[in-house]
Chains A and B, each alone.
Chain A
Amino acid sequence: MKHRVVITGMGVVAPNAVGIDNFLAAIQEGRSGITFHQKLQELKFSCCIGGIPSVSEEMKNKYLTPLQLRGFDSAGILYGCIAGIDAWKDAGFDIDKSLPVDYDSGLVFGAGTSGVEKFREAVYKLDDQKVKRLGSTVVVQTMASGISAYLGGILGVGNQVTTNSSACTTGTEALLMGFERVQAGKAKRMLVGSCSDNGAYIWGGFDAMRVMTYKHNENPEKGSRPMSADASGFVPGSGAGAMVLETLESALERNTTIYAEVLGGNINSGGQRNGGTMTAPNSEAVQKCIVDAIKNANIVASEIDAINGHLTATIKDPLEIENWTKALGRTGQNFPMINSLKSMVGHCLAAAGAIENVATILQLKHQFIFPNINCEEVHPDILKLIPKEKIPTKYTPKKLQIIAKASFGFGDVNGCVIFKKY
């Protein structure tokens, strides 16, 4: 028997806001979290702007113990822990060391890489023949599964505890992995999400590939311009998003708040064939991913009220819109409204899918479309497919039943999930 799966808790650490209430206000008002970073300029980056969440020392101390914070230097794990703990508490669970292990709950929490700052520190010590000086903190902060290991211990969950990694699809993939596990009855609930480090050591490779914009160092908030005529590359971001997925029975039994239902979704790959490469998508596979997600959710394309796209502000944005129009069989006035959170927070890389899923679910819960900031002039190739009013630039209250969200990543991997208002 397949269980219905609902979302009962959320947490977020985004460049424009930390915490669900702040984040809801931020995305409704179209607040940018993109700022200039002196360090990037000193290191001669072309793109010196980025999205870094604001987390105070006081806040760190609220989420991690003094012992956990000793020798701690992994931004992604910090963001993931904050988002994960917030989501867990939001779902109505206590964080208490004296409680028994909860074998009905697990977590899938993705990451692109872990603790790059910590890793850098370790490499310097190693090259200096000081291996003993690494102490006990390097392994757990630099292993890919660092974030799931930290959260697993903090929450005391005893079902599957793992980290997935699929570039910029990571967050959406984590959600679907957790969804399948809960749907299949292998767990009553799964915390799902993803996180990403920030700064020069994680963004450098992208700067070298010239996929980040270098034209907005003087006006950072204008830098991230998905779907716009003058989009010139993405702005890097970071942070974490987390959601608690739970069987509907368990949620009703606990009488807890339900944000939305996960109807279904799909993950696939274009195999780096038919135009797909390490960095570019195979459009046929993108369309198939969306079509199969719709099938899996047991809906029809015409039921989709809105789309939250991947839409990074590179030259591939028009192609993504074209793929949506083909997959849904809907163009022009018949196309649903579409938006990209990246206009406000940049491309949060491995964390992107999770933060954007949180934003998508908030739209369903509160019945609105958040604005696409910096899209005053839509790309002409996009206007050939859909009219300008399908890309709202202002907060738009709207009756919404179903939203489709997709994420795409390096390696030609795709993920699409379908959410429904509950």
Chain B
Amino acid sequence: MDVLFLRNIKKEFMTREDLIISLQKIVKPYVQDQNAFNNLSEETDFINDLKINSANLVDVILDVEDEFDIEIDNDSMEKMLSVKAALDIIETKLTAS
């Protein structure tokens, strides 16, 4: 319990830059456009820029859930189409948990 508690605190205080680095690790295996991946920013779109197969988006989300120990509901999931949207949702969920 204590360990989980600490882990949540740690994630909650992650900076935006830390979150991007974590997210970058998560999406790496699904990326089809290496150039866009190398230039990844908040504005990067998962499907249009990184060319992630839309069917794989659910796997990205599962990986995000595992990494941050959060649960992403259907409505949030529909919005998670870019790095920025993903970061916003992860931050909101981390603060709420």
On whether the two chains bind one another, the answer is yes
Interface of A is mostly: loop
Q: Is A331 an interface residue (CB 8 A)?
A: no
Please give me the residue from chain A that is nearest to B62 by CB atom: A208
A-binding segment of B8-16, B51-59, B86-94: B51-59
Q: Is B35 an interface residue (CB 8 A)?
A: no
Q: In the complex, given contacts A46-B74, A277-B53, A279-B53, what are 15 additional A-B residue pairs having Cβ atoms less than 8 angstroms apart? A: A208-B58, A209-B55, A209-B58, A210-B58, A210-B74, A210-B77, A214-B74, A277-B55, A278-B53, A278-B55, A279-B54, A279-B55, A280-B53, A280-B54, A280-B55
**Residues of B close to A277: CB separation below 8 A:** 53, 55
Q: Interface of A with B (CB < 8 Å)?
A: 46, 208-210, 214, 277-280
Interface residues on B, range: under 10
CA distance A278 to B52 in the complex (A): 12
- 6 A-B pairs (CB sep. < 8 Å): A209-B55, A209-B58, A214-B74, A279-B53, A279-B54, A280-B53
Top 6 nearest A-B pairs (CB, nearest first) are A279-B55, A277-B53, A209-B58, A214-B74, A46-B74, A210-B58
CA distance A280 to B57 in the complex (A): 14
CA distance A279 to B58 in the complex (A): 13
CA distance A76 to B74 in the complex (A): 30
CA distance A46 to B74 in the complex (A): 8
**Residues of B close to A209: CB separation below 8 A:** 55, 58
CA distance A237 to B55 in the complex (A): 21
CA distance A208 to B62 in the complex (A): 10
**Residues of A close to B58: CB separation below 8 A:** 208-210
- B81 CB to closest chain A CB, in angstroms? 12
Residues of B40-61 contacting chain A, CB below 8 A:
53-55, 58
B12-51 interface bits toward A, Cβ cutoff 8 Å, 1 = contact, 0 = none: 0000000000000000000000000000000000000000
CA distance A205 to B54 in the complex (A): 15
Please give me the residue from chain B that is nearest to A278 by CB atom: B55
- A248 CB to closest chain B CB, in angstroms? 44
CA distance A214 to B75 in the complex (A): 10
- B79 CB to closest chain A CB, in angstroms? 12
**Residues of B close to A208: CB separation below 8 A:** 58
CA distance A209 to B58 in the complex (A): 6
